[in-house]
Structure formats: structure tokens, C-alpha cells
């Protein structure tokens, strides 16, 4: 069994609705997409970031941003902490969200999306294959995964299409970073997951969604209160 983001976490099976019939296969497909996104695509994102900015310099780069650009990054408190820790611990704890924010707002030499615009809601077209396009694809794949977390099941065609897209991304980013991703992706695809492993992966994705919503709400509250700091009564 590969080492993955779901491990070292106790799982309460009763907190996950038990699927039956074809949904059992759908759960396994969903879990594999979770593994591939968090373990393989996330690593590729971090490697892209490190190709321009060493982890020892990332906090300084963020601090040099103008107030406007810094506010546009919308960093959560825990992301600020990770930026500080990166000087000594590297990028290993960065998730897709934080890595994407850094690439989008700080990196100047990484090829941008073909349309020249970050944060588009639609998947880049087949012929759009810059590194920026693939970073956008990773963000959108991750968003799509979390959007379906309530069902925690993926139809076969959707899985095949997404897996093919992931394979293409990994192939191109291997060329850009000089690192290997396809072997790990293929290993995940061939895995026969145990029920407890599937449950742990799904629970982890669900927890990520809950935490993202909580952090977003806190950030919005901080932004609302910020103009009033130091104001006279």
C-alpha cells in the first residue's frame, strides 16, 4: 500500500454512508481520485512552485507583495503559518489551494494559462497546454472532487475522463519539472483498496471540505472587521 494523505488517521465507519451494489465501485473510484489529487497532482504543483521559488524564500516573496496583491491572495491564518514554516520544512505541507495561490500571485517565469487569465471556471481546452493551463486543470479537478464529496461516488465514464486528464497533466509536468508522477498515478489506478482505506480517504476529503468552508467564513469575517481596527468609538 502506498503512503498517502489518508494514513495515520482513525476512521469511524459509522460516519460514512455504506454503499451497495454498483456504488461500491463508485466509492473506490472516488477514493482513487482523492488519492491521485492529494498525493500526485499536489506534489506536481509543489514541484512547479519550487522550480521558481525555493521554499526558503517563499515567505519573503509574499511579504514583498503590495498590499493589494497580498489581499488578493486571501491567505488563511494556517496558510500564513505554513509560509513561515516553509523556510525550514519545505513545501511538503502545502495543499493545492495554497500552492495555487503562490503560483498565481508570485511566480513570474512559470508559463501562464493560454488565455492569460487565472481562475477561470471552465477547464482549459485540449490544445491549451501551458504549465499554467495544467495548474488550472489541477485546481478544477480538485474543486470537482470536493463538490461531489456528499455522494462520495464517481461514475465510470467520469473517472476514465478525469484519469486520462490527470495522466496528460502528469506527462507534461514531468517534462517541466524533471520529476516523476506517472508511475505513482499508475500505481494508484491498479490498487485494490480495502474498505477501511476507502473510508479513510473519503473522510479526509470530507474533512478538507468542512475546514475550507470554516476557514473561508473566518477570512470573510476578518476582512469585514479589518477596516474597523483602531477606529475611534
What's the average model confidence in pLDDT over 85-112?
Answer: 95
Q: Which residue has the higher pLDDT, 232 or 123?
A: 123
Question: For residue 151, is it within any domain?
Answer: yes
Q: What's the confidence (pLDDT) of residue 215?
A: 57
Q: Which residue has the higher pLDDT, 138 or 75?
A: 138
Look up residue 191 and give its three cell numbers: 490498487
Confidence of residue 135 (pLDDT cuts 50, 70, 90): very high
Look up residue 161 and give its three cell numbers: 475522463
Rg (CA), the chain: 19
Q: Which residue has the higher pLDDT, 212 or 39?
A: 39
Q: Is the pLDDT of residue 12 over 60?
A: no
Q: What's the confidence (pLDDT) of residue 197?
A: 85
Q: What's the confidence (pLDDT) of residue 23?
A: 81
Q: Which of 8-12, 53-57, 71-75, 196-200 has the highest mean pLDDT?
A: 53-57
**Nearest one of 131, 133, 160 to 26, comparing CA atoms:** 160
Q: Each residue of 175-213: b (16+ CB within 10 Å) or e?
A: ebbeeebeebbeebeeeebeeebbbbbbbbbbebeeeee
pLDDT in tens, 121-131: 999 999 999 99
Question: For residue 129, is it within any domain?
Answer: yes
Confidence of residue 9 (pLDDT cuts 50, 70, 90): very low
What's the average model confidence in pLDDT over 106-133?
Answer: 95
Q: What's the confidence (pLDDT) of residue 14?
A: 34
Q: Is the pLDDT of residue 29 over 90?
A: yes
Percent of the chain surpassing pLDDT 70: 80
What's the average model confidence in pLDDT over 64-89?
Answer: 90
First to last CA, the chain: 60
Question: For residue 14, is it within any domain?
Answer: no
Question: For residue 20, is it within any domain?
Answer: no
- Per the prediction, the chain carries an average pLDDT of 84
Number of structural domains the chain divides into = 1
Q: What's the confidence (pLDDT) of residue 204?
A: 81
Look up residue 231 and give its three cell numbers: 477606529
**Nearest one of 100, 107, 7, 85 to 46, comparing CA atoms:** 100
Q: In which element (H, E) is residue 201 found?
A: helix 195-225
Q: Is the pLDDT of residue 140 over 70?
A: yes
Tell me the residue range of the domain where 73 lies: 27-211
Q: Which residue has the higher pLDDT, 167 or 4?
A: 167
**Nearest one of 51, 47, 73 to 169, comparing CA atoms:** 47
Taken in order 114, 115, 117, 120, the sign of the CA dihedral is negative
SS (H, E, C) 160-187: HHHHHHHHHHHHHHHHHHCCCCHHHHHH
Question: For residue 230, is it within any domain?
Answer: no
Look up residue 61 and give its three cell numbers: 516573496
Q: What's the confidence (pLDDT) of residue 20?
A: 42
Question: For residue 169, is it within any domain?
Answer: yes
Question: For residue 173, is it within any domain?
Answer: yes
Q: Is the pLDDT of residue 223 over 80?
A: no
DSSP of 45-102: HHHHHHHHS-GGGHHHHHHTS-HHHHHHH---HHHHHHHHHHHHHTTTT--HHHHHHH
Look up residue 68 and give its three cell numbers: 493589494
Question: For residue 71, is it within any domain?
Answer: yes
Q: What's the confidence (pLDDT) of residue 105?
A: 94
Confidence of residue 6 (pLDDT cuts 50, 70, 90): very low
Amino acid at each position: 500500500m502506498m503512503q498517502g494523505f489518508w494514513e495515520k488517521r482513525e476512521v469511524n465507519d459509522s460516519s460514512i454512508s455504506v454503499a451497495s451494489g454498483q456504488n461500491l465501485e463508485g466509492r473506490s473510484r472516488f477514493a482513487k481520485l482523492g488519492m491521485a489529487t492529494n498525493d500526485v497532482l499536489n506534489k506536481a504543483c509543489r514541484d512547479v512552485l519550487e522550480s521558481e521559488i525555493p521554499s526558503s524564500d517563499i515567505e519573503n516573496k509574499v511579504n514583498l507583495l503590495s498590499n493589494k496583491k497580498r489581499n488578493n491572495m486571501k491567505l488563511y491564518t494556517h496558510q500564513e503559518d505554513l509560509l513561515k514554516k516553509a523556510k525550514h520544512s519545505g513545501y511538503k505541507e502545502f495543499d493545492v489551494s495554497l500552492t495555487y495561490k503562490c503560483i498565481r500571485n508570485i511566480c513570474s517565469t512559470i508559463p501562464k494559462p493560454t488565455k492569460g487569465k487565472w481562475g477561470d471556471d471552465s477547464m482549459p481546452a485540449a490544445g491549451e497546454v501551458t504549465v499554467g493551463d495544467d495548474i488550472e486543470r489541477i485546481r478544477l479537478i480538485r474543486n470537482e472532487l470536493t463538490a461531489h464529496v456528499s455522494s462520495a461516488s464517481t461514475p465510470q465514464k467520469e473517472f476514465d475522463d478525469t484519469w486520462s486528464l490527470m495522466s496528460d497533466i502528469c506527462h507534461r509536468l514531468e517534462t517541466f519539472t524533471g520529476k516523476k508522477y506517472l508511475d505513482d498515478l499508475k500505481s494508484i489506478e491498479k490498487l485494490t483498496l480495502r474498505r477501511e482505506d476507502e473510508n479513510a480517504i473519503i473522510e479526509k476529503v470530507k474533512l478538507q471540505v468542512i475546514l475550507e468552508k470554516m476557514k473561508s467564513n473566518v477570512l470573510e469575517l476578518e476582512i469585514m472587521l479589518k477596516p474597523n481596527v483602531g477606529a475611534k468609538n
